[in-house]
Amino acid sequence: MATTKGPLMSLDASGSLADTIVYSKWKGRNYVRQHVIPSNPKTGLQVGMRSMMRFVTQIWATLSLIIQDRWKVVADPLSITPLNAMVQLNQERVRQDFGSVQDPTLAEGAVEAAPTVPVATAQIKSLKLTWVDSAGADDWCTFIYMDATGVVTPGPSNLIRIIPTGDQQFVVTGLTTGTTYHFKLKGCEKGGTLGTATADFTGVPL
């Protein structure tokens, strides 16, 4: 319920009214907006885009100062932070089904071979994925794709996570017992070239 301390919008009002409009204040100014609940906040594409954002924001602190400075060169003309520049470029790339770029000065490299020995081990309402990273000195992450309806066609709408090279495992949670889930993996090199996909492999949660 909105709490009014004076004529609405002239002093202070805060909260929602009938779950349709929201009153609040930002930087000293009163404002009103429509209260909106996303009809499907976990669409495949949304999950894919969030996967890229999660990866980039987590990996940023591990980048060398030299690479961070190269992102600053990209960021300064846009008046954004170097991290935001990296997020922006990589979000655009994942939407187009491209790989993640570590260093904006690198050219795209060669296509890597697929990760090997992928396995989905059953756990309670989850599956533990393990694999061996793609071979190659420039390999820097693994894209994980999942589909609960059939063989995976890798793309941004079924991308569920991006894992830094060297981790070689991920637990997929919130799954349905007895349902067969299909997976494929792709390596990605530092210049943003996605590698060859693994063969489809499956798992059934307990």
Please write the tens of the pLDDT for every residue from 73-129: 999 999 999 999 999 999 999 999 999 999 999 999 999 999 999 999 999 999 999
Angle of the 65-75 helix axis to the 82-95 helix axis, nearest 10: 80
Q: For the segment 40-86, what is each residue's pLDDT rounded down to a tens digit?
A: 677 888 999 999 999 999 999 999 999 999 999 999 999 999 999 99
- As a residue count, the chain comes to 206
| Domains of the chain, CATH where assigned | 8-34 (no CATH), 44-95 (no CATH), 116-203 (2.60.40.10)
The C-alpha atoms of residue 34 and residue 120 are separated, in whole angstroms, by 44
pLDDT at 7: 54
How far is CA 59 from its chain centroid? 12
Cα dist from 45 to 28, 93, 148, 157, whole Å: 36, 13, 15, 4
CA count, 13 A, side-chain hemisphere, 178: 0
Question: In this structure, which amino acid lies at residue 39?
Answer: S
**pTM, to two decimals:** 0.81
The C-alpha atoms of residue 190 and residue 110 are separated, in whole angstroms, by 10
Sole residue written with tokens 């020995």? 117
Cα dist from 30 to 21, 134, 196, whole Å: 13, 53, 53
pLDDT band at 25 (very low <50, low <70, confident <90, very high): confident
The C-alpha atoms of residue 113 and residue 197 are separated, in whole angstroms, by 8
